Amino acid sequence: MTKTFVVAVAAIIAAVGVGTPTLSATRDSVRLGMTLEPPVLDPTASPAAAIKEIVTNNLMEGLTRVSADGSVKPALAESWTVSEDGKTYTFKLRRGVKFHDGSPFSSADVVYSISRAMSPEGGNPGRNLYRAIDKVTAPAPDIAVFTLKNPFFTLPYVLALGDSSIVSEKTVPTNKTNPVGTGPFKFSRWVKGDRVELVKNQDFRDKDKIRLNRATFRFIPDPNAIVNALLAGDLDAFPLGVPTESVERFKKDKRFKVSVGMTEGETIVSINNGKKPFDDVRVRRALSHAVDRRAVIDGVMSGYGVPIGSHFSPLHPAYVDLTGLYPHDPAKAKTLLAEAGYPNGFALTLRLPPPQYARKGGEIIAQQLERVGIQAKLEPLEWAQWLDQVLSRKDYELTIISHVEALDYDRYGRENYYWNYANNKRIAELVVSADQAGSTAQRNAVLQDIQKQLALDAVNVFLFQLPKIGVWNANLVGLWENSPSPSNDLTDVHWTK
Amino acid sequence: MSAVIVRRLLAFLATLLATSIVVFVVLEVLPGDPAQVMLGVDAEPDAVARLREKLGLERPTTVRYFDWLLGFATGNLGESYTYSVPVLELIVERLAVTVPLALIAMLLTTIIALAAGVFAAAHHNRPGDWGVMLFAQLGIAMPNFWFGILLVLLFAVTLGWFNAGGFPGWEDDALASFQALLLPAVSLAIVQSAILARVTRSSVLDVLREDYVRTARAKGLSKRAALWRHGLRNALIPVVTVMGLQFAFLLSGTIIIENVFYLPGLGRLIFQSISQRDLVVVKDVVMLMVAKVVIINFVIDLLYVVIDPRLRTAR
């Protein structure tokens, strides 16, 4: 009888299920998946990367934009010029641009948006990005002038980030739940916990180049569910965060394209430099020698991930490969430990936040440390605890974390950052000279000095650049392979058939 | 009867008050600062302090407790830290998934369990009984999320009859929304009905040994007729009790099944709120759940009276 019921239930399931098309017939829409749901939809109000992944370049724009190859291109600004002394940037704005609510865009909105981003009351999470700006003025409706305290070479890049989105003063109070921008897509609605829907902005300046009419972002945290949703055709693309274990399977399936690119996430074993015995550079170097990056990448990311030797993205032109500085060498590690006064090793605690790279990576690294006599106790923490204990109170010895912001080397120059890095003043100086460098070559040279200094001091154990593993329908083109800044830019996305 | 209701109501309020204290104290000692969680890894300390001020976290504990309690009593549940929308709105949105899912799962559970349980009892110690008990044992042993994954692999990935998950929304597409809840409901019902079938079986068996059933048989009723006319109604009391517990459980949202089918239900809301320290949401949802369990228990008590006339005069 139970059997009869199972059959009956299956029959009902079949009857209701059959006849509903799972593929949309018209190919002017796209359904993308993301692991995390954004808390709000205003990138100027919260640091969550998920906001930028939906909003930046799609709903909201900056004066400039980061393109797929990482270069900075015009967006709301048509062009810009830099004064001789590098302290004045003059942006020529596009005319005739309208916000989604119909109000016209002008230089007044630039002054408002950037001044708000700079002020402590504005609540912008990226306020530190604007450290070099003195003031922004609007001499004409289509001209915005940035006056800087010192030359700041990265300004056009900074203005492309989601934090620098140009918003209208009128809609700021409601942007968190109903974002209004100038981009090629308009906000349609947000079904909390499930999805965000966008529709094409028919008033967009280049609307003929935009080939999608609709885009849906769905939120699926469970790795198994991600794979099933792709296989069942519920999603057209999962651009970031496909479980590495499933990559081989998708590679064999002709329906899908697998893209393995890079994010801006440097995955590192953070060391509390202020705590004994980690204040001794020999101990930190020993840790670097003890860790086998390749084994970590293989074990944690199924081999996907580029090893790094300092805190810097291999995508950047100024990158230097420093992975050879501390090759995996347990014997050398033991010698260094003996020199530092720990011939028999010591015990430490490794505090692990929830991501897989940290939890799985912690187990592998603990084994590797054991081979040089260091006993690592693993302590899994949830996010809130990690932020509280490790980041705020600096109550930790070692932890594993991916620092996902682009060009975040400046953190090594901060006072009181959770690494307690002793040489931070030197880095702070270098950051200033990189900011103020007169040419790209000059600036890149300073950036290389920073990388070398960090590696030399073995501030942290630098593991690998977090990969951007995406899977999408083989007929879908135009999605980013790499992630030079957090965004799922849909401007060029379209179907080939 | 009215005295019973008044007593119930007082107990209800006392339960809620006790819960509110426990919930508040637990969340007070839980490590983790909501402002820090919201602002993330790169937050500057002054920004965190400013947000704490804005969220009212710097006020004295007792002030915050009574503020919250007062808000709760007047129907003002406050605003979610994470989403910046009223908590009530969030909960109502999630209930549109969780309540229908619980109802469908409960309906399936009841049908399967009652049929299988009565059948097993009627075939006591015969192959039919053993068969049912074997399936029930399997059903209890099997994790429902694993069964859910199997259903997805078969009906969504291989056959393509269903979506692998997600929830379109009732106002958008009612049929598709119903479909979206079927596989999760079946996954939930398999385990729940296995439990309920065993309760039904043993309860019916107990009743069949009662004197009044023997009397019924003695006056010439067939075993089947005695079971249906006299046995079943009496056997239902423990069954309804378990059903009440199960329904309360299903209504609280089922985090794992909601994850497997990525449904925006209440379970995921609670899970997410706890991990993001969205304390307002956690407090409000927990209170509502306690209220719900108390109400369901009350309804179950009323059902006893409907099922068993003897209870009507007992008190």
In CATH, which superfamily holds the domain spanning B87-313? MetI-like (1.10.3720.10)
B127 lies within 8 A of chain A by CB: no
Beta bridge partners of A147: A88, A135
- Least Cα distance to A490 among A59, A40, A12 occurs for A59
Position A19 scores a pLDDT of: 41
Domain boundaries, chain B: 2-74, 87-313
| Residue A124: φ, ψ to 5° | -75, 130
Cβ density class A413-437: b for 16+ within 10 Å, e for less: bbeebbbbbebbebbeebbbebbbb
Residue A188: in which H helix or E strand, if any? strand A185-191
Contacts of B12 (CB under 8 A, 6+ apart): B291, B294, B295, B298
Which of the residues in chain B have pLDDT under 70? 1-2, 42, 312-315
Residue of chain A nearest B135, judged by CA positions: A2
Q: 3-state DSSP call for residue A32?
A: strand
Asked whether the beta carbons of residue B259 and residue A128 sit closer than 8 angstroms, the reply is no
Q: What is the ipTM of this complex?
A: 0.81
Q: Which of B115, B166, B275 sits opposite A383 (nearest CB)?
A: B275
Query: CB pairs under 8 A, 24+ apart, for A331-334?
Result: A332/A286, A332/A289, A333/A286, A333/A287, A333/A289, A333/A290, A333/A372, A334/A286, A334/A372, A334/A373
The count of C-alpha atoms lying within 13 angstroms of the C-alpha of A224, restricted to the half-sphere facing its C-beta, is 15
- Least Cα distance to A462 among A387, A396, A412 occurs for A412
Asked whether the beta carbons of residue B262 and residue A126 sit closer than 8 angstroms, the reply is no
Q: In CATH, which of 1.10.287.370, 3.90.76.10, 3.30.70.20, 3.30.930.10 is domain A60-174?
A: 3.90.76.10
Query: Cα(first)–Cα(last) distance of chain B, in Å?
Result: 8
Give the integer Cα–Cα distance in Å for A336 and A285.
Answer: 8
CA distance readout (Å), B105 to A12, A170, B25, B56, B171: 14, 47, 34, 41, 21
Chain B: closest CA distance from residue A7 (Å)? 12
Position A161 scores a pLDDT of: 93
In single-letter form, the type of residue at position B235 comes to A
CATH of domain A263-467: 3.10.105.10
Beta bridge partners of A379: A351
Under a CB-based contact definition with an 8 Å cutoff, are residues B20 and B72 in contact?
yes
Query: Cα(first)–Cα(last) distance of chain A, in Å?
Result: 49
Residue A185: in which H helix or E strand, if any? strand A185-191
Interface probe with B: pick from A3, A7, A12, A13, most Cβ of B within 10 Å: A13
**Is CATH 3.40.190.10 the right assignment for the domain spanning A3-43+183-255+474-495?**
yes
Cβ density class B54-92: b for 16+ within 10 Å, e for less: ebeeeeeeeebbeebbeebeeeebbbbbbbebebbebbe
Instruction: Give ∠ CA A434-A437-A443 in degrees, rounded to 5.
Output: 60
- Least Cα distance to B284 among B275, B276, B274, B294 occurs for B274
Q: Which of B37, B44, B179 sits opposite A384 (nearest CB)?
A: B37
Asked whether the beta carbons of residue B165 and residue A228 sit closer than 8 angstroms, the reply is yes
| Residue A34: φ, ψ to 5° | -135, 150
- Look-up of token digits 């890149």: A444
Cβ density class A362-394: b for 16+ within 10 Å, e for less: bebbbebbeebbbebeeeebbbbbbbbbbbbee
A307 lies within 8 A of chain B by CB: no
Secondary structure letter of residue A60 according to DSSP: B
| pTM, rounded to two decimals | 0.85
In single-letter form, the type of residue at position B88 comes to L
The count of C-alpha atoms lying within 13 angstroms of the C-alpha of B245, restricted to the half-sphere facing its C-beta, is 10
Interface probe with B: pick from A228, A351, A405, A418, most Cβ of B within 10 Å: A228
Q: 3-state DSSP call for residue A153?
A: coil
Give the integer Cα–Cα distance in Å for A304 and A419.
Answer: 27
Domain boundaries, chain A: 3-43+183-255+474-495, 60-174, 263-467
Asked whether the beta carbons of residue B47 and residue A126 sit closer than 8 angstroms, the reply is no
Position A26 scores a pLDDT of: 55
Under a CB-based contact definition with an 8 Å cutoff, are residues A348 and A333 in contact?
no
CA distance readout (Å), B274 to A273, B89, B94, B117, B285: 32, 18, 16, 39, 11
Taking contacts as CB-CB distances below 8 angstroms, the residues of chain A near B260 are: 222, 224-225
Rg (C-alpha) for chain B, rounded Å, is 24
Could you list the pLDDT tens digit for every one of the 497 residues in chain A? 444 555 555 555 555 544 444 444 458 999 999 988 888 999 998 888 899 999 999 999 999 999 888 889 999 999 999 998 889 999 999 999 999 999 999 999 999 999 999 998 888 888 888 988 999 999 999 999 999 998 888 899 999 999 999 999 999 999 999 999 999 999 999 988 899 999 999 999 989 999 999 999 999 988 889 999 999 999 999 999 899 889 999 999 999 999 999 988 999 999 999 999 999 999 999 999 999 999 999 999 999 999 999 999 998 889 999 999 999 999 999 999 999 999 999 999 999 998 889 999 999 999 999 999 999 999 998 888 888 889 888 999 999 999 988 888 989 998 889 999 999 999 999 998 998 887 888 999 999 999 999 999 999 999 999 999 999 999 999 999 888 888 999 999 999 98
